[in-house]
Structure 1
Amino acid sequence: MEFDREVGRVADQAGRTGEQAQERFARAGSVSATAAAPDGAVSVTVNPGGRLRRVSISQAALRGGADAVAQQVMQLAATATRRSGDKVYRALAPVLGPAGEDHLFSLGYEPLPDDELDEDDMSDDRGLR
Structure 2
Amino acid sequence: MAEFDIGREADRLAQEMDRAGERARAQFERSGPITGRAQTSDGAIGVEVLPGGKLKSVKLTPYALRSAPEVIARQIVELSNQATRRAGDRMYQTLAPALGDGQLRSMGYEPLPDDEDGYGR
Which TM-score bucket, shorter chain as reference? 0.7 to 0.9
Question: Is 1:10 matched with 2:13?
Answer: yes
- Higher normalized helix content (fraction of residues): 1
TM score, norm. by length of structure 2:
0.85
Q: How does 1:43-122 map to 2 (within 5 A)?
A: 43-104=46-107, 107=108, 109-114=109-114, 115-118=116-119, 120-121=120-121
Higher-Rg member (1/2): 2
Q: Distance in 2 between matches of 1:17 and 1:72?
A: 38
Cα RMSD, aligned residues only: 1.9
Unaligned runs of 5+ in 2: none
User: Which 4+ runs in 1 deviate beyond 3 A?
Assistant: none
Unaligned runs of 5+ in 1: 122-129
Q: Provide Cα deviations, 1:7-64, integer angstroms capped at 9, x if missing partner.
A: 2221111110000011111112111111111111111111111111111111111111
Paired residue for 1:27? 30
Identity, in percent, stands at 40
What displacement does 1:3 show? 3.3
Q: Distance in 2 between matches of 1:99 and 1:43?
A: 32
TM score, norm. by length of structure 1:
0.80
Paired residue for 1:124? none
Q: Distance in 2 between matches of 1:23 and 1:47?
A: 19
Q: Distance in 2 between matches of 1:37 and 1:26?
A: 31
Query: How many pairs were matched up?
Result: 117
